[in-house]
Structures are given as structure tokens and as C-alpha cells.
């Protein structure tokens, strides 16, 4: 696994660990109170979107750290008013 992918993986795990309630995808519609396939699909879609947001956050954090380490976020001296 590449170093970047490993860092992102670790960031995702750290973000997941901070989640108070972690929903898992339902394997079928039988676990839902209504048993409605539409509700089952909608619930799973919302869960996937939540995980996607966590992954995007991890990728963004990794990019910010990478930029900081490479010096792109170093503060620039103010321009003179001459």
C-alpha cells in the first residue's frame, strides 16, 4: 500500500473512531420496521454518503498536512507599501 493511501486509511479510521453512532449497511430490507424496499435503499444511500464524507474529509486532511510539510502554507512576508 502506498504511503499516502496508508495515511488516508489511518485518518479514516481515526474519524470513524470519533463517531458516536456508527450505522452499518443493511443486508436486506428485513431489518427495517416497515420492511419497505424504498426505505431500505434510502437508508443505505444515506449511510454510504456519510462514509463518503468521512473519506473526503480524510483525503482533505491528508492534502493539508502534505502541503504544510512541503512548505506551501508557510506564511509569506507582507508586501511593502513602497
Residue 34 lies in a domain: yes
pLDDT tens digits for range 3-55 = 999 999 999 999 999 988 888 887 765 656 666 778 888 989 999 999 999 99
Structure letter (DSSP) for residue 32? S
Residue 82 lies in a domain: no
Residue 78 lies in a domain: no
| Domain assignment of residue 17, given as a range | 3-69
Residue 79 lies in a domain: no
User: How many distinct structural domains can be found in the chain?
Assistant: 1
| Cα distance between residue 65 and residue 63, in whole Å | 5
State if pTM tops 0.75.
no
pLDDT tens digits for range 40-53 = 889 899 999 999 99
Amino acid at each position: 500500500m502506498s504511503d499516502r493511501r496508508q495515511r488516508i486509511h489511518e485518518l479514516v479510521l481515526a474519524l470513524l473512531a470519533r463517531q458516536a453512532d456508527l450505522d452499518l449497511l443493511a443486508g436486506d430490507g428485513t431489518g427495517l420496521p416497515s420492511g419497505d424496499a424504498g426505505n431500505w435503499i434510502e437508508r443505505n444511500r444515506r449511510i454510504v454518503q456519510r462514509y463518503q464524507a468521512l473519506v473526503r474529509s480524510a483525503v482533505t486532511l491528508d492534502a493539508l498536512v502534505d502541503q504544510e510539510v512541503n512548505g506551501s502554507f508557510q506564511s509569506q512576508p507582507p508586501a511593502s507599501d513602497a
